[in-house]
Amino acid sequence: MPDLSLCLEALSAVTGCNVQQTTALSQLTPQDIVNIVALKEFYKQEGFKELEYKSVGTLSLRDSDDMDLYSAPPALKEGPSTAGPDASMRATVKVNPQEFFDQQYDYDFTNVKDGDKSFMRGSEQYVRPCGWSRVALRVVGKYDGGEAWLGTGSSAWPVSYHGNNMDGTSGIILARKESTAEEPGFLDAAAASLTTGETRGRGVYSTPDVKVAEKYCKKFKSQVDGNTYKVVLQNRINPEKRQQCQREGYCVVYVPDDANDVQTRAIVQESLRPYGILLKRL
């Protein structure tokens, strides 16, 4: 496992919180991490500027590249909303490393090259995160229904990677339609999206390819060693909840127009389960 302080910095980068170590109970679970990242992207896509998350507080949805973890960016009040920032400090949350991380499943892919090797998770190809180091999250025994979702068999969920800025605004648009009867309308919508740049599915995006996720990932400069790192979430995605996008290499979990905040969070939790944080030193 990389230095613990570096891992906490990575969590801070992806959540926008100040994540600290504790020996007491964690305020965040691994599931909370992917919830926060996915919901922040979704509500930003919807035009909001903040997210209220239980156990964390109010989180700003403002863009921040090359994040300085030790600055005090503005947080925002009661959300989602369109209010502007106030002078609040970044939310501080604490996690217990013993109950949050699972070192036995850490894996260093930094110098791994798979070449023509093929790996499967469920019935789909698993593109391993070569070039990255994986910090495993403690998720075994945390979900109902056993661990089949996390395995390698036919009932396992496929692997999904999540970069912080995958909010559907970069042409990651429209689910692929299976019915040929819907194809003309789909083509019209796709053509419109090329000219307006606004057409996109209302939902949470991810990708089975870590190289695609890397394009959208969060970067941060570490005070542990002075290096800059990229960070990506490695998840499993429920194949019954996601749809493939027309743009190859992307998938979307749709959120209905009439879904409220509680329902939106439930959709994320039913669809995405995290099991690793990936780090790459620049």
User: pLDDT by residue (tens digit) across 175-228?
Assistant: 444 433 444 444 444 444 444 444 456 888 899 999 999 988 999 999 999 999
Q: Give the pLDDT band (50/70/90) at residue 44.
A: confident
Contact criterion met (CB below 8 Å) for 30 and 138:
yes
Q: Give the pLDDT band (50/70/90) at residue 63.
A: low
Distance of CA 199 to the CA centre of its chain: 22
CB neighbourhood size of 196 (10 A): 8
Q: Measure Cα distances from 214 to 48, 211, 281 in Å.
A: 25, 5, 12
Predicted local distance difference test score (pLDDT) of residue 60? 78
Predicted local distance difference test score (pLDDT) of residue 86? 36
Helix (H) or strand (E) holding 18: strand 18-21
Please give the single-letter amino acid code of residue 110.
Answer: T
Residue with tokens 């740049």: 197
Contact criterion met (CB below 8 Å) for 30 and 137:
yes
Q: In angstroms, rounded to a whole number, what is the distance separating the alpha carbons of residues 2 and 135? A: 8
- Predicted TM-score (pTM) of the model is 0.82
